[in-house]
Copies of this chain bind each other. A is one copy, B any other.
Amino acid sequence: MSLQRPTLPKGTRDFGPEQMARRNFILSTIRDIFELYGYQPLETPSMENLSVLMGKYGEEGDQLLFKILNSGDFLKNVNKDDLKLGSKKTLSKVSEKGLRYDLTVPFARYVAMHQHEMELPFKRYQMQPVWRADRPQKGRYREFLQCDADVVGSDAPLNDAEIIAMLCEIFHRLGIGDISIKLNHRNILTSLAAITGNPELESAFCIALDKKDKIGKEKVKEELLQAGFESSGIQTVFPILEITGENDDRLKKLKSHFSNHNLDDSGIQNIESILSIVEKIGDLSIVDVDFSLARGLSYYTGAIFEVTLNDRSIGSLSGGGRYDNLTGVFGVSDVPGVGISLGVDRIYDVMINRDLFDQVTLEVTKVLVVTFDSQSFHHAFPLLGTFRKNGIACELYPEPTKLKKQLNYANKKNIPYVVLIGSEEMTSGNLTLKSMASGEQQQLSIEKIIELLRKK
């Protein structure tokens, strides 16, 4: 074997103990909330058949899927003509599997395969990595962790309201208070597109609106013009998109616009139902009804959510919505659902920037047994078993060595206590417990030490 300089693939990262402690804090916070609302865990394989993945995320998504080379002689079906046809047309001859691109399509596939054994409504959460062959850049990785919660089998607004309540509570517990949960509805977007006079261009309307935060209002207007909207239509719709006031007022004003144009206001009614429940089970103050919210994905059919920082210093931290036919492509219709996806890596980056991890300690080991020579080293062995039997994580430096080296190990590893075994301790049977933070020392029996450490 030749010597290799070890490297990592672009856009991927290792997570050492410190990062793991922080990531686990985020994950357990999210998991606790999902479970408080009755969501149950689910995991799907990292690989899916390409037939399941392709065509679900648009043409760009197809490009960004990581594909897995068929095992064995992968070129066996490729001939000269294929080389001329090019990679795109030859793909199916060399690859039939891809890595998960999100958690929504695999969940829809799961629901389609297990519909008969599921108790509906079915609430599941899923916390797994996804992979996208995007160009890596700050805050964008090729492997990143998503946390999704979805409920399928019910179109009742309580589900949508609970999704919002969960988002409130998750960000509250993570200490990220200055967020807005933006809320809109697919039917509202449909009616707004109708107000422009070009209802048939709804899709282009949503795609352009979705870019508002990135490119600004004026550029969106230009894009709408290019997409075929009339200037007059754009001028009519923008003031409506930007209606101000409290959420209630905005909805009331929008309702009167829709009434003037004789348009469907079922989306407004649905939002009102959802908000009236959020008022009782969550926190309405961070909900921001925003008629210009238009998430790119075309499968949403009802409410649409997005969580953004109020200072807009980073893209959305979470997004989701209601979809009433996601399993349709797998031959199973009439399974309405609603869900959200939280981006753990972005949340991590925000929390690092804001120093929000001070409550997360790296502490794994509670106590290091410190010895002075070979005799006290051997004396320490039974202590290890005693501590561990009592649920106290402990370590012994693996060989007799200098005191300084042992204390240094405790320090570097954030071990809060050491127990010293010197000749006096071996004679008396008592041990010296020392707090690494305060330096305070006490002579105590092992039973007292266990009692004390268990309380900490």
Contacts and interface: CB of A to CB of B under 8 A. Distances in A.
Interface of A: 1, 3-9, 12-17, 20-21, 24, 35-49, 51-52, 55-56, 63-64, 66-69, 71-76, 78-80, 82-83, 86-87, 90-91, 94-95, 97, 99, 109-110, 112-114, 119, 121, 123-124, 129, 131, 133, 142-143, 151, 154, 156, 158-159, 165, 169, 277, 280-282, 329-331, 362, 364-365, 381-382, 384-385, 388, 391-399, 409, 412-413
Given A37-B393, A121-B397, 8 more contacts: A9-B97, A14-B43, A17-B42, A40-B364, A45-B143, A46-B129, A80-B80, A119-B409
- How many copies are assembled? 2
Nearest to A79: B83
Contact of A63 (B72, B80, B110): B72
Nearest to A169: B388
A49 B156 contact: no
Given A94-B69, A110-B14, A39 B398 contact: no
Contact of A119 (B51, B388, B412): B412
B45 A4 contact: no
Nearest to A390: B36
A142 B68 CA distance: 13
Given A75-B83, A75-B87, A399-B158, A69 B95 contact: yes
Contacts of A133: 71
B55 A1 contact: yes
A348 to B, nearest CB: 13
Contacts of A124: 17
21 contacts: A3-B331, A5-B330, A7-B51, A9-B49, A12-B45, A12-B46, A14-B113, A15-B43, A16-B114, A36-B392, A37-B388, A38-B393, A47-B131, A63-B71, A73-B87, A75-B90, A121-B397, A154-B398, A158-B398, A169-B388, A280-B381
A280 to B, nearest CB: 4
Nearest to A278: B381
A412 to B, nearest CB: 4
Given A36-B388, A281-B384, A66 B63 contact: no
